[in-house]
Each structure stands twice: as structure tokens, then as C-alpha cells.
Amino acid sequence: MNRYIEEKIHTFQDKNRNRARFLIKCPDQPGIVSAVSRFLYDHGANIIESDQYTMDPIGGEFFIRIEFECDELKEKANLLEEDFHSVAEKFNMDWKITYVNEIKNMAVFVSSQPHCLLELLWEWQSGDLMANIAVVISNHETAREMVKSFGIPFYYIPANKDIRDQVEEKQKQLLQDYDIDVIALARYMQILTPSFVETYHNRIINIHHSFLPAFVGAKPYERAFERGVKMIGATSHYVTNDLDEGPIIEQDISRVDHRDNVEAMKKVGQSIERSVLARAVKWHLDDRIIVHGNKTIVF
Amino acid sequence: MNRYIEEKIHTFQDKNRNRARFLIKCPDQPGIVSAVSRFLYDHGANIIESDQYTMDPIGGEFFIRIEFECDELKEKANLLEEDFHSVAEKFNMDWKITYVNEIKNMAVFVSSQPHCLLELLWEWQSGDLMANIAVVISNHETAREMVKSFGIPFYYIPANKDIRDQVEEKQKQLLQDYDIDVIALARYMQILTPSFVETYHNRIINIHHSFLPAFVGAKPYERAFERGVKMIGATSHYVTNDLDEGPIIEQDISRVDHRDNVEAMKKVGQSIERSVLARAVKWHLDDRIIVHGNKTIVF
Amino acid sequence: MNRYIEEKIHTFQDKNRNRARFLIKCPDQPGIVSAVSRFLYDHGANIIESDQYTMDPIGGEFFIRIEFECDELKEKANLLEEDFHSVAEKFNMDWKITYVNEIKNMAVFVSSQPHCLLELLWEWQSGDLMANIAVVISNHETAREMVKSFGIPFYYIPANKDIRDQVEEKQKQLLQDYDIDVIALARYMQILTPSFVETYHNRIINIHHSFLPAFVGAKPYERAFERGVKMIGATSHYVTNDLDEGPIIEQDISRVDHRDNVEAMKKVGQSIERSVLARAVKWHLDDRIIVHGNKTIVF
Amino acid sequence: MNRYIEEKIHTFQDKNRNRARFLIKCPDQPGIVSAVSRFLYDHGANIIESDQYTMDPIGGEFFIRIEFECDELKEKANLLEEDFHSVAEKFNMDWKITYVNEIKNMAVFVSSQPHCLLELLWEWQSGDLMANIAVVISNHETAREMVKSFGIPFYYIPANKDIRDQVEEKQKQLLQDYDIDVIALARYMQILTPSFVETYHNRIINIHHSFLPAFVGAKPYERAFERGVKMIGATSHYVTNDLDEGPIIEQDISRVDHRDNVEAMKKVGQSIERSVLARAVKWHLDDRIIVHGNKTIVF
């Protein structure tokens, strides 16, 4: 990693050494907010940001994300987590606390088209995407120079469906070596095996170049052109074993008209793809997303 | 029709008594624009607006829409059309001239939800939708009072798939009686027979409450909610015999999030539906649309 | 009021008879959320929706809006408000509780252009704008028939700057007679006196036909055209004594191009004006807006 | 310039060796389109794209942009231009022909914030911005490494208002040395002298970080925050001697809310600035812009 980015990250970590996030999911019932906010207050924490959602006031699921500051957080972290167990049990909570200064290790997978990868690298360099981009893995050599100019290791692993298992073995090894928390598929045009997907459950973020569920699968721009649509889109979602069917994180669209042929649509689309993927990745890194069934709550 | 709107229409007709539009489609080759513009010049017409498009400079289809002014247009109309035959033949043109002061007779079909109908009536009343809305036909009584307050005849014709032929007989009779040029299906939740569609080929404009080709068919909002999309849309298209597969005229979308249940999505969607349908109808009335295969060129 | 709308309102009131909203503003400090949520829990209330904002975690102002359900709310309302005083004092809170089934009485002021008034009436009729539109006051006769067709009293009070005081006397009397809570200026092209504005402090919502602070004052479309802007906008704000300088509630824009003359810009603009004003009014009715200095927090 | 981009440019030039553009401005009168299209036809040229606009059918100004193909264009260019003089004279035309394969030499001026420069470089590298970015000039060293990695000469010329003339002398020399056609001010925070502006009349494109005419001058984000606007914008315009008053080429906006402080607004704004400037520059390079008075026609 280059020095410039390293410094940005250190500054961020220093500024956020006492900052953490609560993510909680449980059946709705009276008293949850009261119990959690009381818990935080009693432990000397101050709520900075809080966002909640109830699927249905009667018998629905309840979700909350709380960002809080707490003096000497590092020292208190174990205690906080231990003490919270009794609250969590009472309300039957599915919960976690994440610590903002522990930034996540990210891998980016890419094929021959680098625009989405580049957007991630740029946002990273400008300090807007706070992760440790630890490694880039590609089945093409295209992006090597660019990636290395950012001081990031680049691995070329040729891939196709006949050698999927061997390829994934190599990939998994790298992901372990770099202790990867989250994978961004920045237009990586290969299907992953169920075993791979399982290992990184709800931690693999894909960008699909259509407004899902329109144009699931291959060649969406070609099919959009054929259908004569007046807008094209892109969709970022967590990867599951059903192609392009995982929980949607973010979507966006742009206008096209009869003058736009497939080439022109691809150009317009690239710009949507890169911003949609970048937003989805940043929300994941900021622990803003809770997956529930096949949907996302994005706080 | 009420007096207020009648006056608006007369003012418009008077202002445009010498205004016409050329719509031409032919194989591309050098000299088309030269020949047409020369023709207009020689006949004393002045080009006000011109928009053209070539699918492919080599061997593609060429499209042009020209709006022009011509003194004493009414007197010259026959001559213009006759004289143009030789140009049209030379370039193998599919063409027509429309006269702006001959405003089109429109029928609106609606079921129980009046929001799209109302949008059309309002735009009409404010002078932004220049047609003669001659009749509203519905399989529900809901809109009767509202329609009559605009001075428009309202016909209640109960409909369901078992009596489709009888229903369409009555509808066709009304369409003939009112000399209808174009039909807007403003959320008319009945399927039309091939014979009906054929009679009004490329003159029936539907609004579908999804971003096609996503969620073709029934209950699109329910399915959008199930899928967890982050945007919902609406699509206006000419009706063909393939359900929701006709040439798309216009689409638009709006953001939703995890807080929006099906009801909320419908509310958001209504606002998109009404503006998308209104735009499509106005473009049709302004002769801005050329259908080519299953696509539209919208000038 | 017509029967149809009356029923919608009754249904809404019945459904929300136990629903209320807390709006709180105070200096930030640890323990606020804990205290308020504990208070609600202890009084048998369940939090349905909660949104908060801190201007600055260190020494900033804290804002929260909580929507809650409470059995037998009507009977408990007095007790709730009394009991809350001790909490409010401790944290130095500026607060209020509003009861969702007590819908607000609204007056609409309009001049000769009815598009914004009509949007409000339509949203009202469709049940999307939950208020009692009790009276429409205009310095033109244009909208009389339309307003009466909705069953709403219409008062014509000619106005100009020379008779401002007499005019406002009449208006104030009507506002008292109808027990008005909030006034929407739906393109009412008259300036109000400081005394009038004071009486309805932060309860008069205006729509200005530009993207403020661009084109403050008269003839914004003409000036937008002169300047050659590529987008035009509209701004809804609370009225203060500085012309077009009050707290902004909502803004939106739409694209224009060199083809759009002043007339065309006005048409495009009308559509923005009506949706921007309607959104602002609905947020006010839903108690989503907290004014702080010359800005709004919109939850 | 690096090899990769060089190849893209050569491919483009080769593909467009017979492609040219007509830009014409003249008082409207019948026969213009006929004369020009006849002229092209007679010279063996085929119209590929044509866009026209009349300010006012009666006595207004007429504008047209025609893109055409012509075999052996290079050989015929002189003849074309000579022959056209008689047509031009007849209609009193202000006109030029540009040759698509003669790509323009561009200089980019930048200060300490590189995001707009980077956007231009990326679009350039991806082949979407077809120019020869010949030189980057900056009053900061920030962008040096980045610019050099693209194979472009970088010149550091410290600047402030006290040494404006000396600074511009050096800049002008460089602009001459590199034979510059167009200058992009990619957040170059210095004012240019009238003499400099005159030399590159309608060829200096600036990006201003507000939705003009709101927030002319310094610190627009700070002032937008103070005013409590709900949207922020950016404006690209040709530079004139009136600060931020030149002909507007393109604008765009993005939503902000009460949670966005000045820093957050700047982040959101950067993304708008970079896309707005890139669009304006590309339209200029594609000869899509005609300046008329203080406005632009963008075809």
C-alpha cells in the first residue's frame, strides 16, 4: 500500500478509536430501544446515530443500527460484549458489535473490464472508501499495471468453467493469506461454486449490469437494446447460489434513447455500474446493511 | 366538452392552421434530406423543426420528422401530398403528413383506479395535452362523476374475460361513433382481443406498472416487493398481442427502500404511472413517435 | 367536504387513534434516548418509528422524532404530557407530542394559477394528504368552481399591496373562523405582513418557482431563461419576513435546454412546483419537520 | 503519451478519416436546409446526423449542426470550403467545418484538488474523451505523479493574484508550444486576465462548484450549507471576464439533507463536478456547442 493511503487510514483509525456500531435483529416487542439505550448509557457510551425499522408493529421483525462513542472502548470492548448477553437473551436478539477502527480487509475480483475496479481504487485513494484493499485477483492481465501503481498485490489466475475448482482453490488460499473479510466482484465474469459462496456468505458483493430482475444472466445490454428499453440500469447484490437472485443492495438507472446502440448503452452503463457498486461496497464497509431473507435493510 | 377547454383548443387550432408534420421512414442513402428540404422549399414551406436518425450509415433505415409552416396550408394540402409521391417513390419512403390543427379524437379506457385518467384530464384541461378527449369507457362506475364534471361522455361497460367479445363489440361501436383516432389505456385491467388490437394498430397506448421487462403480467408491485428491489418503475407502450411486449414509448422509475411495503410502493408507483402515460400520450398526439419493428423512435 | 373524503379521513383517524409523535430538540448529552425510550416503555407505549440527528456529537444540538403506539392513548394523553415534564426539564428539552388522529385544519391561498392548488386537492382526495382542507382563499375567481366541486368553501378577496392590511384582516378572520393550523401558499403572489407571518410562525408554507437562492423575487423563469440555465427548479419553504429567505423544506429541479423558451420553462416548472409543494405540505402534516435557526431538519 | 492511448486515438482517426461536421449560424429564412443539404449531396457527402434549432420562426436566428461522411474527404476539403462560400454569403452565415480526425489539443489547468482532472484523464484513457491531452499546468505539485503516470507533461507554475501577469506569460508560452486548442479549468482556483480570456475566447471551459447563478464566487459549499439548501450542484461554462457569468454548457445537482455538513457536501459535490465538467468538455470536443450571446446551443 502506498504511504499516502496508509496515512489516510491511520488518521481515520485514530479518529475512530472509540467508535463502534451495534447491529441488532429480533422479534419486535415493547422495550427494546429502552433496554439497549439504557445498556449503552450505563456503560458510558453516547449514541451518535441510530436508525431502526419494524417490519410490522404487530409481530414483525425489528432491526436497529446504533453508532456510539465510548471512552476507552478498546479496554471496555470485552466487558461490553459480555454484559450485553443478558439483554440479547431477553429479547432473543441476533446481534453484533463492530469496531470502526478495525477496518475490513477487502479483495477485488475483476475480469477484463477495469472500470468498476478503478472506481473502487479511486474512492479508496481519496479516502472515501475506508477498507484495506489487500489484493486484486483477475483472470486477465489487463489491470495489472494499474493495480500495482496503487501499491496493491495483483494475482493473475486464468479461469473458466472447466477448471473452476482448481481456480477457487488458489483464490481461497490467497483470501486466507490476506485474511479477507469482504470480496467485491467488480465485473468478474465467472460463476462461483456453492462452497465458495458459502464460505463468504453475505460477504461477496456483485455488480450486475442490468436493472434486476430484468435481464438476468448474460448479455444484458444486448437484450436491453433488443427490447427497446428507454432506461438501462445496474444492480449490486450479495452473491447467492441462484444467479443474479441474491439480496439487492443498490440499483440505479440512466436514460437511453433510440440513438443508443449496444456500444453506447455499454458506455452509459459503465458509469452506472461503477457508482452503484461503490455505494454498495461502502455501505457494507460501514456496517449499514442487514440481510433478512432475500432482502436487505440498508440503514 | 366544457367551454373553457373548447376555447383553448380553438386558439391552438387557429395558431397552427398553417403548421404540418412530415414523418418519413426509408432505407438510408445520400440525398434524402436534400430532396425533402428542396421539395418543401419549392412549395413555399419553411422548416421549423427537424429531427432525423439513421440506424446504420451503411444500409440502415433512415427516419425523419419535420415540422413546417406553409402559407395557405389548407388550400395546398392536396397538392403537397400529390406532388410528394414522386419523391417518395424515388427513395422508397413510408411517409405521412399530419396537420397540426386537425387534433386527434381520443378515448380513455379505465378500470377502478382513476389516477392515470385524472392526470390525462388535468393536462388536457390545462391545455398541455392537445386532443379531443371524446369519450371515457370503464368497467367500473368509479370515475363517472369526475369525468362528467369535465363535460366528457362516460360509458360503463362491465367486462371480464368470459364476455370479452360482447364487451368489445360495444366498445368498438362507441369508438366508431366518436371517430376515435387513439386509445389510452389508463390502467384498464382487461386484455384486448387480437382483432381489437389489429383495428387500432399502434394507436393503443398502455401503461404497465413496472419497469418492463421486469415483472411482466399481474401484480408487479407485489412481486417487486418480494424481490426486494430498490427502485420501482412504470412503462408506457403500444399494445400488441403479446402481453406487455409491445414497443416501449417511455419509462421512468422512483426510489423505494426497505420501509416501503406493497401499499407504499403502489402510492409511489401511481405518481410515476401517471407522468409516464401522460408523456407517451402527448408524444403520440404530437406525432413524435415512429414505430419500427418492436421499437419506437421518439423525436 | 364531500362524503368520499370524509370517509377516508374517518378511517384514517380510527386506525390511528392510539398513535402519537414525539418531537424533541435539546442540547446533546448522554442518556437522552435512554430516558425517552424508558419513559415510553414505562407508560406502555411501543416505538414504531424513530429518527434522530445530532448536529455535533460534542456540544451540538440533538433532535429526535419518535412515532409510538399506546393503548388508550386518548385517556392517557394528559398523564403522558404531565409526566414527561420532569424528563424534559432534566435535559432542557423543547418538545411536543402530536396526536395522529387530530388531523390539522389547512387553508390554501392561491392567485390565478391553480396547478399547485389542484395538486393538493388531488392528493387530498386520494387520501395521500391527510388534512382537513377547510377553506381556499384567493385574490382571483379562477379556482372557484373547481374548489367547490371538492366541497370546500372558497372566498374571493381581491388583494394588492395598497390594501394589504384590510385584506389580511379579512383573511385572519376566516382563518380564525375555520380554526386553521397551517396555510399553504399555492402560488399566492402577494407578500404577507410581518404581523401575519408572526401569527402563523413556521406554519405558512410557500412554493417559490426557482431553485433558491437562485432567482429570489419576481419573474424567476424569465431570468432563468435570460441566464441560459440548463435546469430549472422550485423551492418550498416556511415564510419569514425576508422574501424567499425562509427555512427551505424541499427543492427539486428538471432539465431544460436551448429549445425551451420562457413559456416552455413555465410548463416544465409547474410540474416541479406542484410536486415540491405537495411533499413539503405532507411532511409538515406528518410532523416530520423541525425548524432550527434558518434551516429544517426533515425526518 | 502512453502507447495504449495512442493506439485508441489512431484507431479513432482512421475510422473517421472521412467524417466532418458543419456548424452554421444565420438569420432564419426559408431554403437554408435545402441549400446546405443540396450542397452536400452535390459534393458526394452523406448526412449522418443533423440537428437544428430556430430561436423564433419569424425573424429569429437559425442554428444547425450536420455530421457527414464524404469519400476522400482530405482531398476534397479545400474544395468543399471554397465552394461553400457562395451558399454562406447568400444566407449571411457564420460557419465552420471541422474534421473529426483532426483531434483537438487540450491543456488542463488544476490547483490542489485533482478529482476533476482525474475524471478527464480516465475518460481519456478509456477512449471516451477524444482529445490530445497535451499538457497539465498546475499551481500545486499535488497531481504531478498522477499526470506523469499517464505519460503527460506536467508543469508546476506557482500562482497568486500578485504575479498574475508573469504566471500567464509562462502559461501562454506553454499553450503555444503545445499548440493548444482548448483549455479545461479542472478546479483551477485562479482568475484569468481579460487578455488571456480573449486569446482563448469560447475555448476555456470552467467548472464552478455550485448551481449557478446561486452562489457565484468563493466558498459555494459553505454558503449552500449556511442557506440550508436541499440540493447542491455544479455548473460548467465558458470563461468570460465576468466571474461565473459565462455561457453555461451543463449543470447537474444531487440531493443533500440536514445530516450533510460542509465536508459531506464537498464529497457529494465532487462527484457532480467531475461528471459535469467531463460532459461539457466532450461536447466541446465533439463540436456540439454553438455559443450565441451569453447562452449555448448544445446539439
Write out the DSSP string of D173-225.
Answer: HHHHHTT-SEEEESS--SPPPHHHHHHTTT-EEEEESS-TTTT-SS-HHHHHH
pLDDT in tens, C138-188: 999 999 988 998 899 999 999 998 999 999 999 999 999 999 999 999 999
Say which DSSP state D74 is in.
H
User: What is d(CA B182, CA B287) in angstroms, rounded to the nearest whole number?
Assistant: 12
**Looking at beta carbons, which residues of chain A come within 8 Å of C20?**
none
pLDDT in tens, B152-173: 999 999 999 899 999 999 999 9
**Per-residue confidence at B197, pLDDT binned at 50, 70, 90?**
very high
Q: What is the mean pLDDT of chain D?
A: 95
More confident residue, D127 or B66: B66
**Looking at beta carbons, which residues of chain B come within 8 Å of A297?**
258
Nearest to residue B133, comparing CAs of B151, B160, B113, B112? B151
pLDDT of B127: 87
Q: Using CB atoms, list chains with 3+ pairs below 8 Å to chain C.
A: A, B, D
pTM for this prediction? 0.92
Query: Residues, chain B, total?
Result: 299
Question: Out of C233, C258, C295, whose CB is closest to D296?
Answer: C258
CB atoms A48 and C69 under 8 Å: no
Mutate to test the interface with D, among C211, C230, C262, C277 (most CBs of D within 10 A): C230
Which residue from B minimizes the CA distance to A220?
B213
pLDDT of B20: 98
Question: Out of D118, D126, D267, whose CB is closest to A115?
Answer: D126
CB atoms D122 and A126 under 8 Å: no
Which residue from C minimizes the CA distance to A36?
C34
Task: Report the interhelical angle of B115-125 vs B262-285 (nearest 10°).
Answer: 40
CB atoms B33 and D30 under 8 Å: no
Q: What is the mean pLDDT of residues D279-299?
A: 97
Distance (Å) of CA C2 to CA B149, C100, C133, C148, C281: 15, 22, 11, 10, 21
CB atoms A257 and B298 under 8 Å: yes
CB atoms C126 and B115 under 8 Å: yes
User: What is d(CA A44, CA A72) in angstroms, rounded to the nearest whole number?
Assistant: 10
DSSP string, D131-163: SEEEEEEESSSTTHHHHHHTT--EEE----GGG
**Looking at beta carbons, which residues of chain D come within 8 Å of B45?**
30
Say which DSSP state D129 is in.
S
Which residue from D minimizes the CA distance to C260?
D55
Nearest to residue B262, comparing CAs of A56, C127, C9, A246? A56
DSSP string, chain C: --HHHHHHHHHHHHHTTTEEEEEEEEE--TTHHHHHHHHHHHTTEEEEEEEEEES-TTT-EEEEEEEEEETTHHHHHHHHHHHHHHHHHHHT-EEEEEETTSPPEEEEEE-S--HHHHHHHHHHHTTSS-SEEEEEEESSSTTHHHHHHTT--EEE----GGGHHHHHHHHHHHHHHTT-SEEEESS--SPPPHHHHHHTTT-EEEEESSSTTTT-SS-HHHHHHHHT-SEEEEEEEE--SSTT-SPEEEEEEEE--TT--HHHHHHHHHHHHHHHHHHHHHHHHTT-EEEETTEEEE-
Q: Please give the single-letter amino acid code of residue D136.
A: V
Question: Using beta carbons and an 8 Å cutoff, which residues of A are at the interface with C?
Answer: 28-31, 33-34, 37-38, 40-41, 44-52, 54, 57, 69
Give yes or no for residue A238 having a pLDDT over 60.
yes
CB atoms D227 and C212 under 8 Å: yes
CB atoms A126 and D115 under 8 Å: yes
Mutate to test the interface with D, among A266, A267, A279 (most CBs of D within 10 A): A267
Angle at C208 between CA C203 and CA C210, to 5 degrees: 150
pLDDT of A22: 97
> Do A168 and A188 touch, CB atoms closer than 8 A?
no
User: What is d(CA C296, CA D230) in angstroms, rounded to the nearest whole number?
Assistant: 10
User: What is d(CA C185, CA C111) in angstroms, rounded to the nearest whole number?
Assistant: 9
User: What is d(CA B204, CA B106) in angstroms, rounded to the nearest whole number?
Assistant: 10
CA-based torsion, C72, C74, C77, C78: positive or negative: negative
User: What is d(CA D276, CA D254) in angstroms, rounded to the nearest whole number?
Assistant: 12
User: What is d(CA B42, CA B27) in angstroms, rounded to the nearest whole number?
Assistant: 24
Q: How far is C253 from chain D (nearest CA, A)?
A: 8
Give yes or no for residue A2 having a pLDDT over 90.
no
pLDDT in tens, D136-194: 999 999 999 889 988 999 999 999 989 999 999 999 999 999 999 999 999 999 999 99
Q: What is the mean pLDDT of residues C24-42?
A: 95
> Do A238 and A204 touch, CB atoms closer than 8 A?
yes
Give yes or no for residue A1 having a pLDDT over 70.
no
CB atoms B298 and A215 under 8 Å: no
**Looking at beta carbons, which residues of chain B come within 8 Å of A248?**
227-230
pLDDT of D1: 57
Give yes or no for residue C223 having a pLDDT over 70.
yes
CB atoms D45 and B30 under 8 Å: yes
> Do C243 and C185 touch, CB atoms closer than 8 A?
no
More confident residue, C122 or B91: B91
For residue B274 the three cell numbers come to 401517471
Element (H, E) at D33: helix D32-42
Strand A231-238's sheet: what is its strand order?
A: A154-156, A132-138, A105-110, A182-185, A204-208, A231-238, A248-255
Q: Please give the single-letter amino acid code of residue B223.
A: R
Mutate to test the interface with D, among C219, C258, C292 (most CBs of D within 10 A): C258
**Looking at beta carbons, which residues of chain D come within 8 Å of A126?**
115
Question: Out of A30, A40, A51, whose CB is closest to C41?
Answer: A30
Query: Which of the residues B28, B181, B244, B287 is marked catalytic?
Result: B244
Which residue from D minimizes the CA distance to C298?
D258
CB atoms B118 and C122 under 8 Å: yes
CB atoms D230 and C250 under 8 Å: yes
Element (H, E) at A176: helix A164-177
- Scan for cell 387480437, then name that residue: B194
Q: What is the mean pLDDT of residues D242-260?
A: 95
Which residue from D minimizes the CA distance to A128?
D267
Residues ≥6 apart with Cβ < 8 Å to B286: B130
- Scan for cell 437559425, then name that residue: D62
More confident residue, D146 or D101: D101
Give yes or no for residue C125 having a pLDDT over 90.
no
Give yes or no for residue D3 having a pLDDT over 80.
no
Question: Using beta carbons and an 8 Å cutoff, which residues of D are at the interface with A?
Answer: 115, 118, 122, 126, 128, 149, 267, 271, 275
Q: How far is B116 from chain D (nearest CA, A)?
A: 28
**Looking at beta carbons, which residues of chain A come within 8 Å of B258?**
53, 295-298
Question: Out of B115, B128, B270, whose CB is closest to C267?
Answer: B128
Give yes or no for residue D76 having a pLDDT over 60.
yes
Residue pairs spanning B and C at CB distance below 8 A:
12
Give yes or no for residue C235 having a pLDDT over 90.
yes
Q: What is the mean pLDDT of residues C185-212?
A: 96
pLDDT of D126: 83
Question: Using beta carbons and an 8 Å cutoff, which residues of C are at the interface with D?
Answer: 53, 211-215, 227-231, 233, 247-253, 257-259, 294-298
**Looking at beta carbons, which residues of chain C come within 8 Å of D297?**
258
- Residues of C annotated as part of the active site: 244
| E-assigned strand segments in B55-165 | 61-70, 94-99, 105-110, 132-138, 154-156
> Do A180 and A208 touch, CB atoms closer than 8 A?
no
Which residue from A minimizes the CA distance to B52?
A259
CA A277 to chain centre: 8
pLDDT in tens, D194-245: 999 999 999 999 999 999 999 999 999 999 999 999 999 999 999 999 989 9
pLDDT of B5: 87
**Per-residue confidence at C1, pLDDT binned at 50, 70, 90?**
low
Q: What is the mean pLDDT of residues C93-103?
A: 97
Lowest mean pLDDT among B286-295, C117-126, C243-252, D244-253: C117-126
pLDDT of B1: 57
For residue C113 the three cell numbers come to 394559477
User: What is d(CA C221, CA C232) in angstroms, rounded to the nearest whole number?
Assistant: 8
pLDDT of C273: 97
Q: What is the mean pLDDT of residues B226-255?
A: 96
Cis check: omega of the bond before B213, within 30 degrees of 0: yes
> Do C249 and C283 touch, CB atoms closer than 8 A?
yes
Q: What is the mean pLDDT of residues D39-57?
A: 92
User: What is d(CA A12, CA C47) in angstroms, rounded to the nearest whole number?
Assistant: 34
CB atoms C253 and D259 under 8 Å: no
pLDDT of B2: 73
Q: What is the mean pLDDT of residues B85-96?
A: 97
CA C110 to chain centre: 15
pLDDT in tens, A9-67: 999 999 999 999 999 999 999 999 999 999 999 999 999 999 999 988 677 999 999 99
User: What is d(CA B212, CA B251) in angstroms, rounded to the nearest whole number?
Assistant: 8
Distance (Å) of CA B7 to CA B11, B14, C111: 6, 10, 21
Alpha helices in D92-138 (DSSP H): 115-125
ipTM of the modeled complex = 0.93
Query: Which of the residues A28, A94, A128, A244 is marked catalytic?
Result: A244
Q: How far is C71 from chain D (nearest CA, A)?
A: 33
Q: Please give the single-letter amino acid code of residue C86.
A: S
CA-based torsion, A166, A171, A172, A174: positive or negative: positive
pLDDT of D59: 76
Q: What is the mean pLDDT of chain C?
A: 95
Q: Using CB atoms, list chains with 3+ pairs below 8 Å to chain D.
A: A, B, C
User: What is d(CA D99, CA D181) in angstroms, rounded to the nearest whole number?
Assistant: 14
pLDDT of C58: 74
**Looking at beta carbons, which residues of chain D come within 8 Å of C247?**
228
**Looking at beta carbons, which residues of chain D come within 8 Å of A275?**
271
pLDDT of C56: 82
Question: Out of C251, C258, C297, whose CB is closest to D298?
Answer: C258
Nearest to residue B208, comparing CAs of B251, B167, B261, B144? B251
D19-27 and D94-99 beta bridge pairing: antiparallel
SS3 of D25, please? strand
Give yes or no for residue B281 having a pLDDT over 70.
yes
**Looking at beta carbons, which residues of chain A come within 8 Å of B62?**
none
pLDDT of D25: 96
pLDDT of A56: 82
Which residue from B minimizes the CA distance to D39?
B34
User: What is d(CA D40, CA D47) in angstroms, rounded to the nearest whole number?
Assistant: 8
Q: What is the mean pLDDT of residues B132-141?
A: 97
Q: What is the mean pLDDT of residues C4-32?
A: 94
Which residue from A minimizes the CA distance to D263?
A128
User: What is d(CA C171, CA D234) in angstroms, rounded to the nearest whole number?
Assistant: 42
> Do B44 and B78 touch, CB atoms closer than 8 A?
no
pLDDT of A84: 98
Give yes or no for residue B67 having a pLDDT over 60.
yes
**Looking at beta carbons, which residues of chain A come within 8 Å of B234?**
none
Q: What is the mean pLDDT of residues B264-293?
A: 96
CA A174 to chain centre: 19
> Do D207 and D235 touch, CB atoms closer than 8 A?
yes
User: What is d(CA D238, CA D260) in angstroms, rounded to the nearest whole number?
Assistant: 30
Which residue from C minimizes the CA distance to D211?
C214
Give yes or no for residue D58 having a pLDDT over 80.
no
